[in-house]
Every structure is written in structure tokens, then in C-alpha cells.
Structure 1
Amino acid sequence: MTAAAGLLALGMATAAQATNSDTTARFEVQGKSSCPDGYVCVWNNNSFSGKPKWKSKGNLNRDVFSADGISILNNGTRYPGADHIYYKYTYQPGGKEVSGCLHYPGSTPNSKKTYTGVVLNYAQWGGEC
């Protein structure tokens, strides 16, 4: 009987994790859909939820702070030499810098998220990563 109760609890925990994962994925899809085609979009959260805080068809050179992390999406269109997003952010506190490159939609990765306070230094269009 104890083993059966343990299996039931394990099954319920697994189902709850799957539900949380499904909910997170749904919010990400909904949030990402609010980024217009041809734009780079940045949310001031780590889940792409809601509408982007900053978006542009051009470069974002902002030095903006978000205590809740950031989510960056390259929703650009294929354009050789200018369809990738180069980004840099700085962790706060600490100052560790992270940079990378995001591909256009249909290629991976085309998004990035952080989970702690950061300053987004820039998100700029450029050529192949």
C-alpha cells in the first residue's frame, strides 16, 4: 500500500511538472507572437510573457536594466549580411559580460533568455554568426 501511494505521488508530481512546462511553453509562444515580423524584440522578463518592452527594426543600443532577466527574440527576415542579432548583456551585480548571436526565424537559436538581473547593452543586426 505504501508503494502504491508513493507511485501515485510520483505520478501527480510528474503531471504537475508537465502542466507547468506546457503552461510556460504556451506563454512563450503567445509572447513571441507579439513581436512583429522583421523586428528584434526584448522583454524585461525571462519568459517572453506579455508585450516586448523594447523592439526595433534597427539596432537596440540601450543599456537598459531588468531585475527579472531578459528575453531576446530575433524575428527578422532572411537578408544575407544583416539578418542575425548580436547581443551583449552584463549581469548585475557582478559585471560579468555575456555576448552571443541569434539566427533569424527557422534557424536555431533565434531566442535567448536570462534569469537574473542584467543590463542589456545592445542587440544589433549583422551578418552570419
Structure 2
Amino acid sequence: MLTNWRKTTGLLVAAGLMTLSSATAASASSDPSLTGKASCPSEYVCVWDNNTFSGKPKWKSKGNLNKDVFSAKGLSILNNGKRYPGGDHIHYKYTYRPSGKTVSGCLHYPGDTPNSKRTYASGVVLNYAQWGGEC
């Protein structure tokens, strides 16, 4: 009887620790006090409407960002994805206003080289940021 009690208690403690660690991980990514790059959840592409990654991201998504978004103060783009062959790089395009010059680029996921983040000058429209294959 004592052996069964120990097994049951051990299982309950292990389940409680798993639940606690899951709750801690979830609350860390949704912590309202986090700003800058730390406020971009894992597996997301995040875009700030400034060129310093300051504050919270204006746009973030686990999927694609397919809308024209203007920022007078510049853009910061972060690929906070994880390795996923064929879909772990961010392909993006932005347009300068008022010149209309377009620039395309690609960001690697963290730990892959060369870059997972970029910043751009003021007066730009982000046309899209889409998940895709190798740059």
C-alpha cells in the first residue's frame, strides 16, 4: 500500500511540475512588461513601427503579413521563427515613400546565418513579410 502511495504521489508531483513549467513559459511570452525584441514570441515574425525595435511590435504573426503598412518612423523586422525546412525564412518587400523605390530581402531564423533582424529608415511601407524557404 505504501509503494502505491509513493507512486501516486510521485506522479502527481511530476504532473504539477509540468503544469507549473508550462504556465511559466506561457506567461513569459505574454508578459506585458516585456518590450523590444524580448516582446516577440517564439515562432513569430514581428514588425515595429520604428527603426530601433523599441516598445512592443506594431504587427506580429505566426503566419504571413500581407498588407501594406506605413511607418513614418521606419521599420524593424524580426524573424523569431524556429528551424522548419521550406518555411523558416521571412521574405519581405517594402516601398519608400514618396519615391516608390522597392526593396526586397530575406531574414533567417535565429541561430541561422547571417541575420534574423533588420531595420530601415523612415517613410516606408512594408508590403509583405511571408514565411518561405531558404534565402
TM range (shorter): 0.7 to 0.9
What are the within-5 Å matches in structure 2 for residues 1-129 of structure 1? 31-107=36-112, 108-129=114-135
Tell me which amino acid in the other structure corresponds to 2:123: G
Tell me which amino acid in the other structure corresponds to 1:94: S
Structure 2 residue aligned with 1:11: none
Tell me which amino acid in the other structure corresponds to 2:128: Y
Q: Which has the larger radius of gyration?
A: 2
How much has 1:49 moved relative to structure 2? 0.3
TM-score (norm 1): 0.76
How much has 1:43 moved relative to structure 2? 0.2
Structure 1 segments (4+ residues) deviating >6 Å: none
Root-mean-square deviation (CA, aligned residues, Å) is 0.7
How much has 1:62 moved relative to structure 2? 1.1
Q: Deviations over 1:66-121 (max 9, x none)?
A: 00000000000100000000000000110000000000001221111112110000
Mark the runs of 5 or more structure 1 residues left unpaired by the alignment: 1-29
TM-score (norm 2): 0.73
Aligned length: 100
